[in-house]
A = this chain, B = another copy of it.
Amino acid sequence: MNDIEKIISEAVSETLKESGISETPNKVMSINEAYVAEAGQFELNTELLSSKTKKAHKELLDGYVKKLNNISANLDSVDKTSANLNNSVFRSLKIDETYNHNAAFLHGLYFENISDVNSTISMDTISYMRIARDFGSFDAWQEDFVACCLSARNGWAVTAYNMHLQRYVNTVIDLHSQNVMTGIFPVIVMDCWEHSYYRDYLKDRKTYVFAMMKELNWSVIEKRVKKADMIAKVLRS
C-alpha cells in the first residue's frame, strides 16, 4: 500500500471500529498457515478403521497440503498474460489449486468429525434442531445423508449450511472438486473415496459409512453449527 491508501485505510478502520465492525487484522494467513493452524488435532481413536488405513490416510492429507503449498507458490510467479482456457500453466495451476484445496480442507473437517467413541447427539443441541428443521426430522437427514454417501463416485458427502438458500443441504461431491455447491459452509463431512475404507471393508462402502456415523463427533459438529447460526444471522441482517 502506498501512503494515501494507508491513510484512508486507517480512517476507515477507525469508522468500522466505532460502528462495531472490527477490521480483519492486516496479517493475511497464507494457505499453508491457515491449514497448519488446524492441523495437529486429529486423534483417530476409532477401532472401526485399521491403524494402517488411519496412518495412510493422514499421509494422503499431508500430500495434499504439500501440493497446495507448491501450487500456491507457483501461482505467485506464473505468467498471467498468457492465461488461456484451452491450455495454459495458469489455468492448470488454478484447477489443481481448487482440487488440492478441497482435498486438504475436506480431509481436515472429516478427521475432526469422526471417531468419537463416546458419540452422542442430544435433542437440545442446535445441531439436532437445525437438522430436524431443514430435513423434516433427524432420521430423514440420516437417510438422505447415507444416500449421498453411497452416491459419490469416489468423493464426499457433505452436510452444509447453504448461504444462498439460508438452510442446510446434503450434497454429493465427486473426486474433490466436481459437483460442488457454491456458497456452502460444511458442518458434517464424510470421506467416500475408496482410500477411506477399501483396506478394511473392501467394496462394502455401506458398512464403512454406518460405522463412521456411529462415532460422529457431535461436539465438534455443534461448534460448526453455532458458527453457521451466526453466519445465518449476518446474512439476514
Q: Say yes or no for A90: interface residue by CB 8 A criterion.
A: yes
- Distance in angstroms between the alpha carbons of A181 and B129 in the assembled complex: 28
Q: Say yes or no for A43: interface residue by CB 8 A criterion.
A: no
User: When the two chains form their complex, are residues A92 and B94 in contact, meaning their CB atoms are under 8 A apart?
Assistant: no
A126 to chain B: which residues have CB within 8 Å?
Answer: 12, 16
Instruction: Report the minimal beta-carbon distance from A61 to chain B, rounded to whole angstroms.
Output: 11
User: When the two chains form their complex, are residues A80 and B147 in contact, meaning their CB atoms are under 8 A apart?
Assistant: yes
Closest chain B residue, CB of each to CB of A80: B147
Interface stretch of the complex, out of A111-119, A170-178, A211-219: A170-178
A170 to chain B: which residues have CB within 8 Å?
Answer: 94
User: When the two chains form their complex, are residues B106 and A182 in contact, meaning their CB atoms are under 8 A apart?
Assistant: yes
- Distance in angstroms between the alpha carbons of A232 and B198 in the assembled complex: 38
Q: A28-B167, A227-B234 are known contacts. Are A151 and B84 too (CB-CB below 8 A)?
A: yes
Q: How would residues 140 to 158 of chain A score, 1 for a CB under 8 Å from any chain B CB and 0 otherwise?
A: 0001101110111110001
User: When the two chains form their complex, are residues A98 and B5 in contact, meaning their CB atoms are under 8 A apart?
Assistant: no
User: When the two chains form their complex, are residues A147 and B83 in contact, meaning their CB atoms are under 8 A apart?
Assistant: yes
A96 to chain B: which residues have CB within 8 Å?
Answer: 86-87, 92
Query: What are 19 contact pairs spanning A and B, CB under 8 A?
Result: A5-B132, A8-B129, A12-B129, A21-B230, A29-B166, A34-B165, A56-B202, A67-B86, A81-B147, A83-B151, A84-B151, A86-B99, A94-B151, A101-B182, A154-B175, A163-B185, A180-B182, A194-B198, A230-B237
Which of A's residues lie within 8 Å of B, judged by CB? 1, 4-5, 8-9, 11-12, 16, 21-24, 26, 28-29, 31, 34-35, 52-53, 56, 59-60, 63-64, 67, 70-71, 80-81, 83-96, 98-103, 105-106, 123-124, 126, 129-130, 132-134, 137, 143-144, 146-148, 150-154, 158, 160, 163-167, 170-175, 177-186, 193-195, 198-199, 202-203, 226-227, 229-235, 237
